Amino acid sequence: MSSAGESTNLQRVLEAGFFSFSAEIGPPMNGSADHVRGKARKLRGFVDAANITDNQTAIVRMSSIAAGYIAQSEGVEAVVQMTCRDRNRIAIQSDLLGAYALGLRNVLALSGDHQSFGNHPGSKNVYDIDSIQLVKGLNDMIEKGVFMGGQKMKEPVSFFLGASANPFADPEELQLIRLEKKIRAGARFVQTQGIYDIDKFKAWMEKARMRGLHEKAFFLAGIVVNRSAKSIEMTALVPGMDIPERLIQRMRDAENKEDEGVSIALELIGELRGIEGVAGVHVMAIGWESVIPAIAERAGFLPRPSFDRQT
Amino acid sequence: MIVAEQKAIDEILRSVRDYDDIAVVSCGSCVTVCMAGGEKEAAGMASIIKLAAMEEGRNVNVRTANPVRQCDMEFFDSPEFGEDGVAGASCVLSLGCGAGVQFMAERYPDKAVIPALNTTFLGVNRDLGYWTEMCQGCGNCILEKTGGVCPVARCGKSHFNGPCGGSSKGRCEIDPDIDCAWQMIYDRLKRIGQLHRLYEINEARDWSASRDGGPRSHKRDDVTADRGAGDE
């Protein structure tokens, strides 16, 4: 079975050697298509793709596939996030067949935040499969044309498949082994946790390079943009985040918090661009999508590369 | 062992309030060891029920029975289960685990059977009064691959290929009091020189041997055959 299929925009940008710039759209806690459209319109033309989060922090929101479809109808290519928390392998495959039918071709496979963090802490989690098994299963669908249950698919599907990595989680060696497994399982791009501690990230990236991982997958470095002292303090509480105290203090001391948040993000992006093996940045400005164009411009990312696409 | 803890006393008293002859049945196995449903706890429970009834001006008869196990038919015919014992009561308050409670309901099909415990997990006794979960009875043990630490029961996300991104300084993202199972697996495998196991991709698992395959049972023909031979 061939993996042929039209490349996604994000894939083309990366494969052509451009430094990618992507952002994030958090779907609303309601069914408003206009809400998603509004967010997508702010990003159109400024990003190569936007991640559509899948009930992030286990808070119920519009489905990432539905919101991704709306975003694409507004001209912003979607990266559908798919977690293992809420769906078993039957539901995951079914939903992704639906996503494919709707023209959504980038998938980011994730474990998902534990439900105890969200607004339904009494819910059951699924974890029928973990994120590596998800990558492996989807890659088998793409490369071998088989379902996770082994049955042959009549028509193949094709996705540009990604996985996540947290350079700040423990144990470091095992996290790297796990990343290596994700890439071996079929992840073509890797999106990292939000980076604040650039020295720690540099050291981690060097270890990833020593394993040759940067040659097997595109590394998209994650950046979180904060607009207030409270926002960076809250971010610091997210499991797996590692923020140097001096950056938190800078936000506390700043007269104009929003400007300071953008300055910090731009400084980090500047550093990340110089690190071997970093193929792009992924900016997470949840609830503050309107800042993305300014960051794209001030970081010198504009105009974004465009390709003739047949749709 | 099966670990359980006693329900809040108010909940238990509410559940038995409609009955005037109550059999409080302990269990001599796991729940005795974890100090939730043994003979001592049953005696205490009987006193509390009597006292609470007295305070409300109700006359309640409370009997106790202390079988070796509630989960084994072998003990169903013991004298304390007869008319002078549990069979004469109007309801059964079982201090057994969920299996014991259900077997009491089978033993006494015409009586209400009420649980006094919440059955929590298969675990170990780490310290006086401290138990932790170790096993989920998933029916397909892989502990030889994971250094003797179970990722199904002890990883909050039952991951099979390493920790999630929430593992920090040996702790789980759910609660800093919980150890990260994969940190423990890593430490153990490192110590016994088997880190190579972590490079294997453990593929999607067949859960049909666990509860997902439907309620489970075992039948051992060899044991049944032995019984037949013994009868002859």
Considering only alpha carbons, which residue of chain B is nearest residue A110?
A: B164
Question: Cβ of B162 and A181 within 8 Å?
Answer: yes
Q: How many domains does chain B have?
A: 2
- Residue A196 tokens, joined: 């604040």
Q: Residue B65's pLDDT is what?
A: 96
Q: CA A139, CA A146: separation in Å to the nearest integer?
A: 9
Domain final position from B94, B120, B146: B120
Residues of chain A with pLDDT under 70: 1-5, 308-311
Question: Cβ of B165 and A239 within 8 Å?
Answer: yes
**Does residue B125 lie within any of the structural domains?**
no
The nearest CA of chain A is from the CA of B153 a distance in Å of 12
Of B161, B175, B183, nearest to A132 by CB-CB distance is B161
Task: Let me know whether B191 and B157 are in one domain.
Answer: yes
Q: Residue B229's pLDDT is what?
A: 57
Question: Cβ of B165 and A173 within 8 Å?
Answer: no
Residue pLDDT, tens place only, B42-100? 999 999 999 999 999 999 999 999 999 999 999 988 899 999 899 999 999 999 999 99
CATH fold, domain A9-298, is TIM Barrel (3.20.20)
Of all residues in chain B, what percent are helix, strand and coil, respectively (each to 5)? Answer: 35, 20, 45
CATH number at residue B53: 3.40.50
| Residue B141 lies in domain | 136-213
Task: Let me know whether B72 and B114 are in one domain.
Answer: yes
Question: Cβ contacts (< 8 Å) between A114 and chain B: which residues?
Answer: 156-157, 166, 173-174
Question: Cβ of A170 and B180 within 8 Å?
Answer: yes
Task: Let me know whether B150 and B96 are in one domain.
Answer: no
Q: Residue A10's pLDDT is what?
A: 98
Task: Let me know whether B76 and B140 are in one domain.
Answer: no
**pTM for the model:** 0.94
Helix segments in chain A, DSSP class H: 9-15, 33-43, 64-73, 89-101, 131-143, 172-185, 198-210, 229-237, 245-253, 257-273, 292-298
Question: Cβ contacts (< 8 Å) between B184 and chain A: which residues?
Answer: none
Residue B213 in contact with partner chain A when CB distance is under 8 A: no
Give the Å distances, CA to CA, from B67 to A291, B5, B86, B172: 70, 19, 11, 40
Considering only alpha carbons, which residue of chain A is nearest residue B160?
A: A130
Question: Cβ of B173 and A181 within 8 Å?
Answer: no
Backbone dihedral region of B69: left (phi > 0), alpha (psi from -120 to 50 degrees) or beta?
beta
Q: Residue B230's pLDDT is what?
A: 52
Q: How many residue pairs bridge chain A and chain B with CB atoms within 8 Å of each other?
A: 108
**Statement: residue B232 has pLDDT above 50:** no
Task: Let me know whether B146 and B113 are in one domain.
Answer: no
Is residue B75 exposed (0-12), middle (13-18) or buried (19+ Cβ within 10 Å)? Answer: middle
Task: Let me know whether B8 and B115 are in one domain.
Answer: yes
Under 8 Å between Cβ of A240 and A193: yes
**Does residue B224 lie within any of the structural domains?**
no
Question: Cβ of A125 and B157 within 8 Å?
Answer: yes
Task: Let me know whether B105 and B157 are in one domain.
Answer: no
Under 8 Å between Cβ of A224 and A239: no
**Statement: residue B197 has pLDDT above 90:** yes
The nearest CA of chain B is from the CA of A112 a distance in Å of 9
Mutate to test the interface with A, among B142, B152, B157, B196 (most CBs of A within 10 A): B157
Residue pLDDT, tens place only, B108-153? 999 999 999 999 999 999 999 999 999 999 999 999 999 999 999 9
Residue in A217, A109, A93 with CA at minimum distance from that of residue A157: A93
Domain final position from B120, B153, B185: B120
Question: Cβ of A132 and B162 within 8 Å?
Answer: yes
Residue pLDDT, tens place only, A200-248? 999 999 999 999 999 999 999 999 999 999 999 999 988 778 899 999 9
**CA triple A31-A96-A285, angle to 5 deg:** 55
Q: Residue A238's pLDDT is what?
A: 83
Q: Residue A241's pLDDT is what?
A: 87
Residue B199 in contact with partner chain A when CB distance is under 8 A: yes
Q: Residue A276's pLDDT is what?
A: 98
Q: Residue A240's pLDDT is what?
A: 79
Task: Let me know whether B63 and B145 are in one domain.
Answer: no
**Does residue B20 lie within any of the structural domains?**
yes
**Does residue B51 lie within any of the structural domains?**
yes
